């Protein structure tokens, strides 16, 4: 019984982190139809930036709150720049969706190998966010896992607030629904594209930072995250934020149970099996629409 509770809590914890990261990918796809292949590299970037500011490079840490603030700002502007220089110029062309995948794939390889060149092949560890553990439902859970889940869930709640209660967020939704209509009422679509892209970079990079104490920082870790976020997004329905949240929790749970019963090597295979099943039964995903 205890073991099952532990597995469920682990599933919830990773599910909420996945949800936060997949939501960003789904949002960008829904708004601007960009499939960002460098998504995983921004995850890794979050981890490396956190490592730098938490004492990895200079030997003295500036503490978590300051690191969060700096890393989030940095990721936001890097995301903006990426959108402006690597994606926006392509939009005028007819086959731009494919070109955008190419250019972000190039960026991903560039960044990953840059991390390797700058920081070396060894994994970096960073200090845990919270020490200690708590007792939930008769089992002991590391405080860190609880903190990851709590922070990720509050970020998702914040994102919901942004999308539904602020002017900028409503502009994002308007562009996603009808680009021409949004432009007619005076929404600058380029701006919306740029800040949704930047927001997604922040979400995934923040995820990388939160999970860094748990999984360590390595230059190739991003690919796994890219594939998982992709599976979740496709499962939930490309472009659907709520679908991505549901899918993340379902897959986080499935992953936890598969890892417990069959071993960790099977998780990716099972995820793909689920994905293929979904494609056969309901190709648009849980909450998505074709198109």
Interface with other proteins (CB under 8 A): 29, 35, 85-86, 89-90, 92-95, 97-99, 101-103, 105-114, 116-117, 223, 227, 230-231, 234, 238, 265, 268-269, 272, 275-276, 279-280, 283, 290
Alpha-carbon span 27 to 169, nearest angstrom: 11
Our CB check for other proteins shows the closer of 111 and 200 to be 111
| CA-closest candidate to residue 21, choices 287, 226, 221, 250 | 226
DSSP three-state, residue 217: strand
State in angstroms the smallest separation of the CB of 99 from other proteins: 5
The 8-class DSSP code of residue 286 comes to S
Our CB check for other proteins shows the closer of 50 and 107 to be 107
Our CB check for other proteins shows the closer of 16 and 267 to be 267
Q: In the chain, where does DSSP find H-type helix?
A: 2-32, 39-51, 64-82, 96-119, 143-165, 167-177, 179-184, 189-215, 221-236, 241-261, 266-281
State in angstroms the smallest separation of the CB of 129 from other proteins: 30
DSSP three-state, residue 58: coil
State in angstroms the smallest separation of the CB of 244 from other proteins: 14
State in angstroms the smallest separation of the CB of 130 from other proteins: 33
State in angstroms the smallest separation of the CB of 109 from other proteins: 4
Our CB check for other proteins shows the closer of 9 and 234 to be 234
Our CB check for other proteins shows the closer of 28 and 171 to be 28
Report the run of H or E that residue 54 belongs to, with start and end.
none
User: Hey, what are 30's tokens?
Assistant: 């829904």
């Amino acid at each position: 019984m205890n073991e099952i509770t532990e597995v469920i809590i682990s599933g919830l914890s990773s599910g909420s982190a996945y949800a936060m990261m997949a939501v960003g990918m789904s949002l960008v796809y829904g708004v601007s139809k960009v499939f960002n292949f460098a998504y995983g590299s921004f995850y890794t970037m979050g981890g490396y930036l956190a490592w730098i500011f938490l004492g990895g490079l200079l030997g003295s840490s500036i503490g978590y709150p300051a690191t969060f603030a700096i890393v989030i700002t940095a990721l936001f502007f890097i995301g903006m720049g990426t959108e402006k220089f690597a994606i926006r110029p392509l939009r005028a062309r007819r086959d731009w969706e494919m070109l955008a995948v190419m250019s972000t794939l190039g960026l991903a390889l560039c960044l990953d190998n840059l991390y390797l060149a700058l920081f070396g092949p060894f994994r970096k560890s960073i200090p845990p966010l919270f020490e200690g553990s708590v007792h939930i439902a008769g089992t002991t859970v590391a405080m860190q896992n609880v903190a990851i889940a709590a922070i990720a869930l509050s970020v998702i709640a914040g994102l919901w607030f942004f999308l539904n209660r602020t002017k900028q967020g409503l502009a994002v939704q308007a562009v996603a629904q009808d680009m021409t209509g949004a432009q007619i009422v005076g929404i600058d679509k380029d701006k919306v594209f740029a800040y949704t892209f930047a927001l997604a970079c922040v979400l995934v990079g923040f995820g990388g930072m939160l999970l860094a104490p748990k999984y360590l920082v390595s230059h190739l870790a991003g690919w796994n995250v890219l594939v998982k976020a992709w599976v979740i997004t496709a499962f939930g329905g490309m472009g659907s934020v709520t679908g991505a949240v549901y899918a993340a929790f379902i897959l986080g749970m499935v992953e936890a149970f598969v890892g417990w019963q069959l071993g960790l090597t099977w998780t990716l295979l099972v995820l793909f099996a689920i994905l293929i099943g979904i494609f056969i039964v309901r190709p648009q995903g849980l909450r998505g629409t074709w198109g």
